[in-house]
Amino acid sequence: MKIGFIGLGSMGRAMAGNLIRAGHEVTVWNRSAGPVDELAALGAKIARSPERAAQGELVLSMLANDQAMREVFLDGGVLAAMDPGVIHINHATVSVALTHELIALHAAQRVGYIAAPVFGRPEVAAAGKLNMLVSGDSVSVGKVTPLLEQMAAKLWPLGEDPVRATIAKIAGNMMLAAAIESMAEATVLTRAYGVSATDFLEIMNNTLFASPVYQNYGRMIAEQRFEPAGFAMALGHKDIGLALAAGEGEKVPMPLASLLRDALTEALAAGEGKLDLSGLSQVAARRARLDQRGQ
């Protein structure tokens, strides 16, 4: 299948690589050259502009945020360059408001639009083991399901409205950030009383919270290992903002999301936006002045 892939960050690069290895003809575009060269070595074709990557049967995108999506697909003319009947699969986490806009603009262009955001870190994407939320026109989804299954361990269908997958991903990321913040605060509390983060989290991750999120991020917190980031705090801050905006749109109070936004804003103000989301433990430790206590 002829596929265009736009946006080759750590996640997009891994996903595109799996499609190349599966035998698809993949044309790639990215703002920076490094990931493009890496995929070219695997057999990808290089597009000199994003519109040139949008000439296949399918266009997949994994851009960082609303602004990048707007700059490339709307202001940059990629959507206008797509032929009627082409399907665009957006894997990025974007706002509900932009999703509504994209649905309307794709329909006017007679281009299919499927929201297919993913749960999983870059190493999970590289292994083709993502969990992928999927919503869009059922006929279009049926056409692309075999391809999506080459990048994911499981597809989670959420109906024909792309907003559903979008909001489920936003809500899931909010829950992830809340879990990490709870571990961050709890480990700072135990450290203040002489119990190491390693000991405390080993207990929690093998008793009350024996789940991948707590185990994987707990290990990073215990080891104070915040780089390289699989899910950067800057992106977490963006996603919590999306959750708050979505809540505002339907008059849903989000007090916990507001707390998380404040913690992540503090991290960004300290220049820690590129650190992994597990770096919230560093924010909590700084608030408690543990270093000054020698903890």
Pair of tokens at residue 149: 């299954």
Residue pLDDT, tens place only, 73-93: 999 999 999 999 999 999 999
Which position among 169, 238, 251, 274 bears the catalytic label?
169
Residue pLDDT, tens place only, 208-251: 999 999 999 999 999 999 999 999 999 999 999 999 999 999 99
Residue pLDDT, tens place only, 183-212: 999 999 999 999 999 999 999 999 999 999
Which of 203, 201, 191, 190 lies closest to 278, judged by CA? 201
Which whole number is the average pLDDT over 93-114? 98
169 is an active site residue:
yes
Look at residue 293 in the predicted model and tell me its pLDDT. Answer: 75
Q: What is the DSSP letter of 83?
A: P
Is the predicted pLDDT of residue 181 greater than 90, yes or no? yes
Look at residue 106 in the predicted model and tell me its pLDDT. Answer: 98
CA dist., res. 112 & res. 134, Å (int): 13
Residue pLDDT, tens place only, 24-33: 999 999 999 8
Over pLDDT 90: what percentage of the chain? 97
Answer for the pair 241, 249: CB distance below 8 angstroms, yes or no.
no
Which of 25, 54, 18, 211 lies closest to 126, judged by CA? 18
Cβ partners under 8 Å of residue 96, min gap 6: 163, 166, 167, 170, 242, 245, 246, 249
CA dist., res. 183 & res. 4, Å (int): 40
Look at residue 204 in the predicted model and tell me its pLDDT. Answer: 97
Look at residue 295 in the predicted model and tell me its pLDDT. Answer: 67
* Overall size of the chain counted in residues: 295
Q: What is the pTM of this model?
A: 0.95
